[in-house]
Structure 1
Amino acid sequence: MLIVEVRFMLKRFLTLATVMLSLFIGGTTIKADSHGETVTNITVAQYQQNIAKTIPVTPTQVVNKLHAGDTFVLYLGFPGCPYCRRFSPTLAEFMAETNVPVYYLDISQITQQVYQDNNLKDFFTKIDFQGTPTVVLLKHGKRIHSYVGSETPLAALQTLTKYKY
Structure 2
Amino acid sequence: MTHVTFKQYGNNIKRTHEVTPVKLTSLLKSKKTYYLFFGFRGCPYCRNFSKTLAKFMKQSKTRPVYYVNIENFGSDLNPNSTMYKDLQNFIEKKVVLKTTPTIVAMKGNKMMRSFRDSRTSLKQLQNLNVKLIKSK
Whether the aligned pair in 2 keeps the contact of 1:63 and 1:123 (CA below 8 Å) is no
Q: What TM-score do the two structures reach when normalised by structure 2?
A: 0.82
Task: Tell me the distance in 2 between the aligned counterparts of 1:141 and 1:57.
Answer: 15
1:40-98 per-position Cα deviation (integer Å, ceiling 9, x unaligned): 41100000000011111112211221123332111111111111001000000101123
Letter in 2 for 1:103: Y
Task: Report sequence identity in percent.
Answer: 39
Letter in 2 for 1:145: R
Whether the aligned pair in 2 keeps the contact of 1:76 and 1:105 (CA below 8 Å) is yes
Is 2:96 aligned against 1:128?
yes
Give the RMSD, CA atoms, in angstroms: 1.9
Task: Tell me the distance in 1 between the aligned counterparts of 2:52 and 2:17.
Answer: 16
Is 2:79 aligned against 1:108?
no
| Superposition pairs of residues 63-142 of structure 1, within 5 angstroms | 63-100=25-62, 101-110=64-73, 114=77, 116=79, 117=81, 118-119=84-85, 120-124=87-91, 125-142=93-110
1:120-164 per-position Cα deviation (integer Å, ceiling 9, x unaligned): 221111122222101101113111010111111111111232224
Distance 1:55 1:158, change over 3 A: same
Distance 1:83 1:115, change over 3 A: farther
Distance 1:53 1:113, change over 3 A: closer
Please list every run of 5 or more consecutive structure 1 residues that lacks an aligned counterpart in the other structure. Answer: 1-38
Is 2:49 aligned against 1:49?
no
Please list every run of 5 or more consecutive structure 2 residues that lacks an aligned counterpart in the other structure. Answer: none
Task: Tell me the distance in 2 between the aligned counterparts of 1:58 and 1:142.
Answer: 19
Letter in 2 for 1:104: Y
Task: Tell me the distance in 2 between the aligned counterparts of 1:65 and 1:110.
Answer: 15
Bigger CA radius of gyration: 1
* Structure with bigger RCO (C-alpha 8 Å, 6+ apart): 2
Letter in 2 for 1:149: D
3-state SS of the aligned residue for 1:114? coil
